[in-house]
């Protein structure tokens, strides 16, 4: 249960403030006019003293410690699973509500896993920690969940096209460096990925499991079941890293319990929050990561009846994984709290 009413102008902390998602969280709090009473920026010791701007004022980064959360109402965590496992329970014990962007607590039965457009009511059951879903899961479900409500999804077969920024700043630098090296006729060097990412695609996101899937690939099924309250959902995904800087895309084939047409799907999606239908192939209009970058809404297009599945629909969905896949979703959860 919620530990009483939330301060209307809460003291907010961002943990992992200097990372790509942390910076997006700070910008999203400002752009959405979240009623921050006081902002505290927390990171590792090496970032202490660095200043980030919020509402035109520089805010110095402080070191994350066990004592950091006294007096803080909401903490947005984006510093990796290890940091979350160590510090999120301490923050909750201090009376702070944690919104965690890592995978540490997503499948914990006592931690709500929330996409505000889908299951906002689950926030009410939190015990101090609320989990943000995997970025690819969140983007896919923005299109899949409205269709599930209308037609009842049974199973999904999908392939993701995931931007390098999902791996972090060093991966963006690696792609840029390799493009320059190849253009100069040099041999590309690699540090982040096991193979060259420039002008290539890697069918490998996250670590491999004994059954041959990767951890990332199982997240859509496992997290999708929890978010949509749909324990029998079946999903087979191949996650692919592509040489795109920002925004993930997913090609989805979904089979439903009830008959579905492309026209009916467009009508349902057209009135669903957080998703825009961009679907006019005659004018070469369909979702592109280049154009969805920086946008709050995800986009869905290439909507057509799937010719290989009964009651099947194929579609293409794209979204900014640093926003709806991470920072925006976290701030939307914070908005639910107040």
Contact 301, 285 (CB under 8 A): yes
Is residue 298 part of the annotated active site? The answer reads no
Distance CA 40, CA 258 (A): 49
Within 10 angstroms of residue 5's Cβ, the number of other Cβ atoms is 8
Rounded Cα distance between 179 and 168, Å, is: 17
Q: Report the distance separating Cα 253 and Cα 22, nearest Å.
A: 33
Question: Is 96 assigned a catalytic role?
Answer: no
**Of 96, 135, 239, 298, which one is the catalytic site residue?**
135
Cβ neighbour number for residue 195 with a 10 Å cutoff: 10
Cα separations in angstroms, 282 against 140, 278, 294, 303, 305: 24, 12, 26, 13, 17
| φ and ψ of 58, to 5 deg | -70, 135
Residue with tokens 């996409």: 115
User: DSSP for 195-208?
Assistant: S--TT--BS--SPB
Per annotation, catalytic residue among 126, 145, 148, 248: 248
| Vertex 26: Cα angle to 163 and 331 (nearest 5) | 80
Catalytic (active-site) positions: 135, 248
């Amino acid at each position: 249960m919620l530990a009483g009413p939330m301060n209307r102008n809460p003291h907010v902390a961002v943990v992992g403030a200097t990372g790509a998602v942390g910076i997006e969280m700070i910008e999203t709090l400002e752009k959405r006019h979240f009623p921050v009473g006081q902002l505290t920026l927390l990171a590792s010791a090496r970032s202490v003293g660095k200043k980030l701007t919020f509402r035109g004022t520089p805010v110095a980064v402080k070191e994350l410690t066990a004592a950091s959360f006294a007096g803080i109402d909401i903490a947005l965590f984006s510093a990796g699973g290890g940091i979350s496992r160590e510090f999120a329970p301490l923050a909750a014990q201090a009376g702070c509500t944690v919104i965690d962007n890592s995978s540490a607590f997503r499948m914990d039965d006592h931690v709500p896993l929330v996409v505000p457009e889908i299951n906002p009511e689950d926030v009410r059951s939190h015990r101090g920690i609320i989990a943000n879903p995997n970025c690819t899961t969140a983007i896919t479900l923005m299109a899949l969940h409205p269709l599930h409500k209308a037609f009842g999804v049974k199973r999904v077969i999908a392939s993701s096209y995931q931007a390098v920024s999902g791996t972090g700043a060093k991966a963006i630098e690696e792609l840029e460096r390799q493009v320059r090296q190849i253009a100069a006729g040099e041999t590309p060097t690699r540090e982040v990925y096991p193979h060259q990412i420039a002008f290539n695609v890697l069918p490998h996101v996250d670590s491999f499991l004994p059954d041959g899937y990767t951890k990332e690939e199982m997240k859509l099924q496992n997290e999708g079941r929890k978010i949509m309250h749909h324990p029998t959902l079946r999903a087979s995904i191949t996650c692919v890293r592509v040489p795109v800087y920002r925004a993930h895309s997913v090609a989805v084939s979904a089979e439903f319990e009830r008959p579905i047409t492309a026209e009916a799907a467009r009508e349902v999606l057209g009135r669903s929050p957080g998703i825009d239908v961009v679907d006019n192939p005659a004018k070469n209009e369909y979702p592109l990561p280049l154009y969805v970058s920086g946008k709050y809404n995800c986009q869905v297009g290439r909507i057509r009846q799937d010719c290989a599945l009964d009651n099947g629909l194929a579609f293409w969905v794209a979204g900014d994984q640093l926003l709806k896949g991470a920072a925006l979703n976290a701030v939307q959860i914070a908005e639910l709290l107040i």
